[in-house]
Structure 1
């Protein structure tokens, strides 16, 4: 068994463009975060080897567009790319000698997420929204293991914002994620394969309920709506 922990620091950048009235384009970037993990490789009862590993988590680039069709209706769309292929094969070395003792064979591919949605402004205080999204998992049938039985998935979300006044608002949202039936095949060719083959099937589903209270110290001219489809 392998265990370890670390702290890392990153940054995010964002830019909003308004080429003409009613249209907004957003660009976002979240940096890669480098973790210098320190922990232990447990080889057996009473046999513990201190180890280290350097892991670079992926950067994320997102693009979104919002188009107002009328005073009540707005449509949105977005695309997000995550550089999961950074997680290829991560060497794990002895903390004492620096020699490689094992490895974390992730062998991920890049991940993609696309979404569309709409918002209806019922009145000055209440806005309703719904959205659909599809996510391409960075884990393939060849690299999947029992620890993270991930697969491509479909997102369906609904939500609402209630603007109490110019500065205080409340958000509520619900998302159901339909994950494809997932085959786990630890057989020769899978980087996680060791000695004995293992074949199984997983049927994961996810439900997310979110509630938020937002307070702005300035006084905006209009409320800022919550995202149509949230990723966690």
Structure 2
């Protein structure tokens, strides 16, 4: 088998590179916005410009000016994501159907915690310090191990957790600037089946063709030799779908990023906030790849001697994207407040290409992901029903970075629309409780993909999402 053949099989069929590079999430691709129950209730409109939401410690430190004194806030969101695959067609390289079911519901219910601490200090409290714990990226899909799309993916699990420290300075009551630095811990795990029957058969064909060409034979003679070798391998029990193995990969890394922001209030009733979150470059150096290879395949490929399909380590650079947000909040009167947000996420530079370097004899692999930059836009409102009760609502447009051309089973992602509702209850001057709910409206994303061993999978997904969040804010 040639080096280029192994590059294709090990990176795409086995999926190691994908495991070392990404998982997927609720929100555009695997980006999470669920860091505030109060924000969720208005579809995150006014996410960094509204009054008294401590999540700004993480998203725009300049807006800590809008917080009332010392406070601690804890949020918990529950994301219910469903992904049911509906098969149109699934074939092996020979044209025979791939066995297996539709994989069950690949989604799950995932908790997303967040916590914030804020304290003002300095002359007239014109400086602010904050701490935050958030999960800005994360996702998990998990199919039945023997499902019809097992060669493309079984489990994908990604988690990113940020621990940040923030500082801001109020130039005056109407202008403030802030910055934060955070440490991000990233963990990734991926599993999928490997069609070693197809790999072994293809290897026999390429070896035979290569020998003929090396001996001065013609391309026609090489093709004939390859066909004969393939038939012999099939007779020996090596043909597509005859010998499934399994691969699992995991990796983790710590990296540092930052957030910069400015908040401007042209009047006491209007806030305009601008913020930028940096990209975060994770250099995974200790990724672990494990293979379960049928015994007859290992002997035929001589995997140990060749240094292929053996348990090994790998390294890759994974860049999580930068984003910029414009947020506006306007208090219409004592009861009504309206707000809006626009966020642009720079997926394209981060996911144009990822190169994986294996510690074994498997060649390096460069993968193209095809992600595009995305826009998230939302409008929301709050209505103060009484001194203790506040009602919220919002709508949003959440663009997906993937397309029909690049969508796969690991991220059946699609552009979605949000409808959000929320409730705030303030039983005392020191304590506030908030609740938020969002339903996501989506179309049926389709996939039409081919594995490195030339098995194909076509179909559509019935995807859905609901998010429920609650928080407590305590001032002291």
Question: Which band: TM-score by shorter chain?
Answer: 0.7 to 0.9
- Structure whose residues are more often helix by fraction: 2
Higher relative contact order (CA 8 A, sep 6+): 2
Cα distance change of structure 1 residues 216 and 48 upon mapping to structure 2, 3 Å threshold: same
Q: Which residue of 1 aligns with 2:315?
A: 52
What are the ranges of 5 or more consecutive residues in structure 2 without an aligned counterpart? Answer: 1-13, 17-248, 294-308
CA apart distance, 1:36: 1.2
CA apart distance, 1:21: 2.6
Q: Which residue of 2 aligns with 1:80?
A: 343
Q: 2:288 is matched with which residue: 13, 24, 40? A: 40
Q: Which residue of 1 aligns with 2:334?
A: 71
Q: 2:356 is matched with which residue: 92, 95, 105? A: 92
Cα distance change of structure 1 residues 100 and 56 upon mapping to structure 2, 3 Å threshold: farther
Cα-to-partner distance string for 1:5-50 (whole Å, 9 max, x where unaligned): 2222222233321111311111222221111123134455272231
Number of residue pairs aligned between Structure 1 and Structure 2: 212
Q: Structure 1 stretches (4+) deviating beyond 3 angstroms? A: 41-44
1:161 equivalenced with 2:421 (yes/no): no
User: Superposed, which structure 2 residues align to 1:1-232 within 5 Å?
Assistant: 1=14, 2=16, 3=249, 4-37=251-284, 38-42=286-290, 44-45=292-293, 47-85=310-348, 86-95=350-359, 100-187=363-450, 195-217=454-476
Give the conservation status (yes or no) of the 8 Å contact 2:420–2:437: yes
Cα distance change of structure 1 residues 176 and 200 upon mapping to structure 2, 3 Å threshold: same
For the residue of structure 2 that corresponds to 1:9, the secondary structure is: strand
Query: Which entry has the higher C-alpha Rg, 1 or 2?
Result: 2
2: CA distance, partners of 1:48 / 1:8: 26
Cα-to-partner distance string for 1:69-128 (whole Å, 9 max, x where unaligned): 22111111110011111111201002368x853344322001110000111011222111
Cα distance change of structure 1 residues 194 and 13 upon mapping to structure 2, 3 Å threshold: farther
Give the conservation status (yes or no) of the 8 Å contact 1:24–1:67: yes
CA apart distance, 1:155: 0.7
Q: Which residue of 2 aligns with 1:223?
A: none
RMSD: 2.0
Give the conservation status (yes or no) of the 8 Å contact 2:312–2:360: no
2: CA distance, partners of 1:146 / 1:157: 28
Cα-to-partner distance string for 1:179-219 (whole Å, 9 max, x where unaligned): 221001115xxxx76622211101111111101001133xx
Cα-to-partner distance string for 1:138-191 (whole Å, 9 max, x where unaligned): 01111111000101001111001112323321110011111221001115xxxx
TM-score scaled by length of structure 1: 0.84
TM-score scaled by length of structure 2: 0.42
Give the conservation status (yes or no) of the 8 Å contact 1:91–1:104: yes
For the residue of structure 1 that corresponds to 2:256, the secondary structure is: coil
